Amino acid sequence: MQIKPITIGNITVKNNVWMAPLAGYTNYPFRKLCYKLGAGLAFTEMVSCKGLKYGNENTTELLTTGEEEKVKAAQIFGCDPEVMRRACEGEALAPFPIVDINMGCPMPKIYNNGEGSALLENPALAERVVSEVKKSGKIVTVKMRTGIRAGQEITEEFARRMEGAGASLISVHGRTKDKIYAGEPNYAEIERAKRAVNVPVMGNGGIFSKEDADRMMERTGADGVLLARGALYHPRLFCEIFEREKPPFKELFLEELHDTFRLYGEHFAVVFMRKMASFYVKGMRGANELKNALFQCKSVIEIEEIVNGLNWD
């Protein structure tokens, strides 16, 4: 794929290979890791605007950031345009010039509340959300799916309406809500979105290798790719796409572990990094035994001891 900068609003991002927002995973230490490996942009986990309205501590903690994150981008979700605008005008989101509105989450607790992918069924409300959030002064982007059910895709018209409401970039996960993560992405639908709008379009879904990224670009004409589970399992996928030398993974893991410990404390660091390690060791010889050993760990030191004994590369 062609590596190139992307301009959204008044911000130019250095390249077009980004890390998608993933609930429960894309906290600040993981985003730092992605940036170190070359990501042009990395989004926070999706943040509830209602949670920000009521000052929920767990919600604001999702917005932890730091000076290493040169361009800051948060993903928000909700369905009340005024609440979402006020959240974007608030202190918690002040460090983030870019906000991405989630219009693709398929999880029942989000969908049944009229949020996430439910907005695909209510394009008029989705337009009001975008236009109202735009009033906050943020650069607004939208992450959407191709529709609710296969065979009833709405990608082209919905993307056009989001651009008209003020979105400066649109990311399209090439699957309908009912597919969750199953099956090959619908490249044709992403291409339709690209042809329908004048703002940049990012292709998302099914990218686990450089070849997958190349295929996404070739089949859709998208302006860039948004990595998700592929980078969660193998963060050095960024290096593969950029055709750069991969740094030793053990060093990357320990840096993420220590950053997580420093920011969130030992209990969170142990639970979170055990979970991350279970992704990272997938495909390694003896992976099940390693995961079992990691899930017995109660301290950062115990995790370090196991990690230092592994040949990651």
Burial of 60 (0-12, 13-18, 19+ CB in 10 A): middle
| pLDDT computed for residue 285 by the predictor | 78
Residues facing residue 140 across a β-bridge: 99
Per-residue confidence at 313, pLDDT binned at 50, 70, 90?
Answer: low
Q: Sketch out the chain's domains with CATH numbers.
A: 6-242 (3.20.20.70), 249-308 (1.10.1200)
Query: Looking at the predicted structure, is the pLDDT value of residue 97 above 80?
Result: yes
Least confident of 13-22, 29-38, 176-185, 196-205: 176-185
Identify which has the larger pLDDT, 212 or 57.
Answer: 212
Q: What is the mean pLDDT of residues 129-136?
A: 98
Q: Which residue in the block uniquely carries the two structure tokens 């760990």?
A: 297
Which positions ≥6 away from 120 have C-beta within 8 Å? 103, 104, 126, 144, 145, 147, 148, 154, 158, 177
Least confident of 8-22, 168-182, 209-223, 282-296: 282-296
Q: What is the mean pLDDT of residues 129-148?
A: 98
| pLDDT computed for residue 210 by the predictor | 97
Q: What is the mean pLDDT of residues 269-274?
A: 94
What distances in angstroms separate CA 144 from CA 141, 171, 229, one per listed residue? Answer: 10, 6, 17
Reference 116, options 168, 47, 59, 169; nearest CA is 47
Query: Looking at the predicted structure, is the pLDDT value of residue 312 above 70?
Result: no
Q: Mean pLDDT in the chain?
A: 94
Q: What percent of the chain has pLDDT over 70?
A: 99
Structure tokens at 143: 């992450």
Structure tokens at 84: 């979402």
Q: What is the mean pLDDT of residues 69-90?
A: 96
167 touches 120 (CB < 8 A): no
Among all residues, which ones are annotated catalytic? 105
Least confident of 159-168, 256-265, 275-284, 292-301: 275-284
| pLDDT computed for residue 58 by the predictor | 83
Query: Looking at the predicted structure, is the pLDDT value of residue 311 above 80?
Result: no
Per-residue confidence at 286, pLDDT binned at 50, 70, 90?
Answer: confident
Burial of 313 (0-12, 13-18, 19+ CB in 10 A): exposed
Burial of 117 (0-12, 13-18, 19+ CB in 10 A): buried
Q: Which residue in the block uniquely carries the two structure tokens 């942009």?
A: 41
What distances in angstroms separate CA 191 from CA 34, 167, 170, 254, 264, one per listed residue? Answer: 27, 18, 12, 40, 41
pLDDT in tens, 52-78: 988 887 888 899 999 889 899 999 999
pTM, to two decimals: 0.94
Q: What is the mean pLDDT of residues 234-262?
A: 94
